[in-house]
Structure 1
Amino acid sequence: MRKTVIYIVFAFVAIGLKAQSLESYLQEAELNSPMIQALDLRYNIAKEKVNEVNTLPNTTFGAGYFVSEPETRTGAQRAKFSVSQMLPWFGSITTRENYASAMAETEYAEISIAKRKLVLSVAQSYYNLYGIQAKQKVLQENIALLKTYETLALTSVEVGNASAVDVLKLQIRQNELQQQKEVLEQSYMAEQAVFNNLLNRDESIAVEVVDEMDIPADDPMLNKEDLSLNPELLKYDQLYASVTQSELLNQKENAPSFGIGLDYIPVSERDDMVFSDNGKDIVMPMVTFSVPIFNNKFKSTTKQNELRQKEIELQKEERLNVLENAYANAISQRNQARIAHQTQEKNLKQAKDAEEILIKNYETGTINFNDVLDIQELQLKFQTNQIQSVQLYYLQSAIINYLINK
């Protein structure tokens, strides 16, 4: 989890941003997550089962009273007391402990997966908030720009170089941008609720998002081989190990078990005779064996374990294919985001040049406000696309981080 945070923070440091904000959000999300807390409890329960299996079968005590006392040479038997203890085959308890520990490790793998998914969700929501906020800022800048053009248009109307229609068009365009800004405000509130819910806190708490982000000059070094270390795949290794321990336990249970015990019978003295051992109590140590002669159950369990291991291997192979596809798609999408960002940067520069030409034309009294609206619309389009490219780059980087971060 810590390395995941470091990776994301590095992405921010690379572009000169204050990344402590996102790091603290990630730490808060992990601490407050009810799902992770529940999985931690489930893991603790699984670990406690190790102590549960470290036990012996119940000790058996017995007592009986002879209603009709049987006579023996040394006297009448009055009662019978017994105690016995069955014992598992050598190494059976250790094997049970190993199996319980293996099952606990599978639960721990679920915790690792949940933490990764939480980091991914928080990061993605954070980048969505940035995208919405950046678009709002751009819209506000364009509204201010249109107000400037409106002032120019009003001046041109006074000198007869523009019509009132040009002014109305500029005002209509401002209304449209204001509408988009207000719609984005609603989107921001909804995404903020999503973000706060991921942190398990009140939905209305304001979220601090960086003011500016950009695509770094170089992508972080990646190693696709690290994909094999993804907890989603390691989980299958733990499952496979648990089945192996299950089979070892099955073999131990297929072995004989034995028990030790003691019978004690008090004997009454005979009054009609005098001899040695008269009324001597009977003490009888016992040893018992339990042998699974009919062992079809254990043979079936062995077969089931073999099939289960093959199933786990195939499931892991299928999951690896899914993760590899996701990795390839994320790399492609991130590269596309970089290409789109570079293109929009060129387009935006050219749009700015066109805007300067229009402003110079205004100085000569030949400005065309239809061209002004067209250029403004193009600028807004390029700015919005550029923001979306940056957002897409980091969204895909978060996915890549989820897939291959060690």
Structure 2
Amino acid sequence: MKKLILIIFILAGTGFIHAQQLQTYQNQALDNNPQIQSLQQNVAIAEERINEVNSIPDTEFGAGYFISEPETRTGAQKMRVSVRQMIPWFGTIQSRMDYAGSMVDIEEVDLEIAQRQLKLEVSQLYFDIYEIEEKIEVLQQNIDLLEVYRTMALNSVEVGKASAVEVLRLKMRQNDLLEKKENFQLQKEAKQTQFNNLLNVDDNTQINVQDTLVIPLKESENMNLTLHPELQLYDRFAESIENSELVNKQEAAPKLGFGLDYIGVQERTDMNIPDNGKDIIMPMLSVSVPIFNKKYRSVSRQNELRQDQISSDRTSALNELESRLRSALNERASSRIKFEVQTDNLSQARDAEELLLKQYETGTIDFDDVLDIQEIQLQVQMNLVEAVSTWFKKDAIVEYLTVNN
């Protein structure tokens, strides 16, 4: 019982270290990735647009000089100065601000989606690198094992119980594994470059990957997709269209204008009359009425069609997310089954290896069987590494789809 408790604590500790290490890389990517920084600027720009729409139209100033001076009773008009200010209908500016605010929400959801996708990409590459490193280690172990077998074969050749051909076959097999190891090393370098590019650091930066990953005993079966940002994006689009329609209705309302005209009048010299040369001040009020408002009716119709389109797109996106989630859950479960089966196969292969070693002690070893068992054992070890890596990759997809930030 004490031994079981110790194993559970060791597995929990290993999983915690792995989670901390991966989260550190994810946070580094979120801080440094240029795409994320660009989207953050988009949010800031959208927020600034709220200030842009929180304004009234420009004030108009005008001035004129009468070349041909119109005569009035009190004198000739010499010049005119005017000022005009149009005022949107009541509530128009607030509706514009609400629409600009809904665009901020869209940019924020876009940012959240990009952050989630970046974390997922970091996770996938992290586990790719882990898988390659583990395969390199497995290959090196088998290369060392073949060297032991080759020494045994040389000893058997000396006593006439094996042929030199068997020694050469073992060496050829060893060379094949060395070639695979070198190819995996090249793949690792390529993955490390991709990983460092996501973090926006130097290509040669060392990546520390967990030595051993253990599939946890329990796994999440969360199927809740309702709060996923890819779905919330469509909800935000729908809200923005609602606000756009409110703006359209306000724009279709009358607009008020206020103004003031000042006309300078020259005094008459031919007679003395009351208010001689008195300047003219004329306040003005104007109303702009969209009598021909076909444009606004068309915009309303377009908004209705966009709402229907968004509803269809959201349903399609939900179906796609559900399919991705079910596929990830099934593949994750399949990886666990594969791990359990391959663990049992590895135990059988090692038992067969022990039997071969006992045959060597009696001088009856068959090196053809040695190569067969070694190849089976290598394949089983590779399958185990792939099963663990695949489980964590699919679990990362499940987390991307279901975990709420």
User: Helix, strand or coil: the match of 1:205?
Assistant: coil
**Structure 1 residues 237 and 35, CA gap change in structure 2 (3 angstroms):** same
User: Helix, strand or coil: the match of 2:226?
Assistant: helix
TM-score (norm 2): 0.94
CA deviations 1:233-276 (Å, max 9, x no partner) are: 11111111111111000000000001111111122233343343
Shift of 1:16: 5.7
CA deviations 1:194-223 (Å, max 9, x no partner) are: 11111112222221111111211111x332
**Are residues 1:57 and 2:70 paired?**
no
- Asked whether the equivalents of residues 255 and 291 of structure 1 are also in contact (C-alpha less than 8 Å), the reply is yes
- CA distance in 2 between counterparts of 1:19 and 1:234 reads 27
- CA distance in 1 between counterparts of 2:402 and 2:45 reads 30
- Asked whether the equivalents of residues 18 and 213 of structure 2 are also in contact (C-alpha less than 8 Å), the reply is no
**Matching residue of 2:107:** 107
- CA distance in 2 between counterparts of 1:100 and 1:14 reads 47
CA deviations 1:62-90 (Å, max 9, x no partner) are: 22222232222222222222111111001
- Which of 268, 271, 274 is the matching residue for 2:272? 274
Alignment of 1:65-214 (within 5 A): 65-214=65-214
- CA distance in 2 between counterparts of 1:270 and 1:18 reads 97
Shift of 1:13: 4.9
Q: Amino acid of the residue matched to residue 244 of structure 1?
A: E
**Matching residue of 2:221:** 222
CA deviations 1:339-365 (Å, max 9, x no partner) are: 000000000001111111111122222
- CA distance in 2 between counterparts of 1:136 and 1:12 reads 26
- Asked whether the equivalents of residues 17 and 213 of structure 1 are also in contact (C-alpha less than 8 Å), the reply is no
User: Helix, strand or coil: the match of 1:267?
Assistant: strand
User: Helix, strand or coil: the match of 2:266?
Assistant: coil
- CA distance in 2 between counterparts of 1:357 and 1:215 reads 31
Shift of 1:280: 2.0
- CA distance in 1 between counterparts of 2:139 and 2:165 reads 23
Q: Amino acid of the residue matched to residue 312 of structure 2?
A: L
Provide structure 2 residue ranges, at least 5 long, that are not aligned to the other structure.
Answer: 1-10
Q: Amino acid of the residue matched to residue 403 of structure 1?
A: L
CA deviations 1:25-84 (Å, max 9, x no partner) are: 111111111111111112211111111111111111122222232222222222222111
Shift of 1:277: 2.2
**Matching residue of 2:8:** none
Alignment of 1:277-316 (within 5 A): 277-316=275-314
- Which of 315, 318, 324 is the matching residue for 2:316? 318
- CA distance in 2 between counterparts of 1:211 and 1:285 reads 83
Shift of 1:404: 0.9
- Asked whether the equivalents of residues 14 and 213 of structure 2 are also in contact (C-alpha less than 8 Å), the reply is no
- Which of 329, 351, 354 is the matching residue for 1:353? 351
- Asked whether the equivalents of residues 60 and 84 of structure 2 are also in contact (C-alpha less than 8 Å), the reply is yes
- CA distance in 2 between counterparts of 1:269 and 1:250 reads 51
- Determine what percentage of the aligned residue pairs are the same residue: 49
- Asked whether the equivalents of residues 14 and 216 of structure 1 are also in contact (C-alpha less than 8 Å), the reply is no
Q: Amino acid of the residue matched to residue 222 of structure 1?
A: E
Q: Amino acid of the residue matched to residue 246 of structure 1?
A: S
User: Helix, strand or coil: the match of 1:152?
Assistant: helix
**Are residues 1:395 and 2:393 paired?**
yes
**Structure 1 residues 136 and 12, CA gap change in structure 2 (3 angstroms):** farther
- CA distance in 2 between counterparts of 1:277 and 1:13 reads 98
- Asked whether the equivalents of residues 12 and 19 of structure 1 are also in contact (C-alpha less than 8 Å), the reply is no
User: Helix, strand or coil: the match of 1:224?
Assistant: coil
- Asked whether the equivalents of residues 105 and 238 of structure 1 are also in contact (C-alpha less than 8 Å), the reply is yes
User: Helix, strand or coil: the match of 2:95?
Assistant: helix
Give me the CA root mean square deviation. 1.5
CA deviations 1:168-217 (Å, max 9, x no partner) are: 22111111111111111111111111111111122222211111112111
- CA distance in 2 between counterparts of 1:183 and 1:70 reads 96
User: Helix, strand or coil: the match of 1:79?
Assistant: strand
- CA distance in 2 between counterparts of 1:141 and 1:188 reads 18
- CA distance in 1 between counterparts of 2:16 and 2:104 reads 42
**Matching residue of 1:7:** none
- Asked whether the equivalents of residues 250 and 298 of structure 1 are also in contact (C-alpha less than 8 Å), the reply is yes
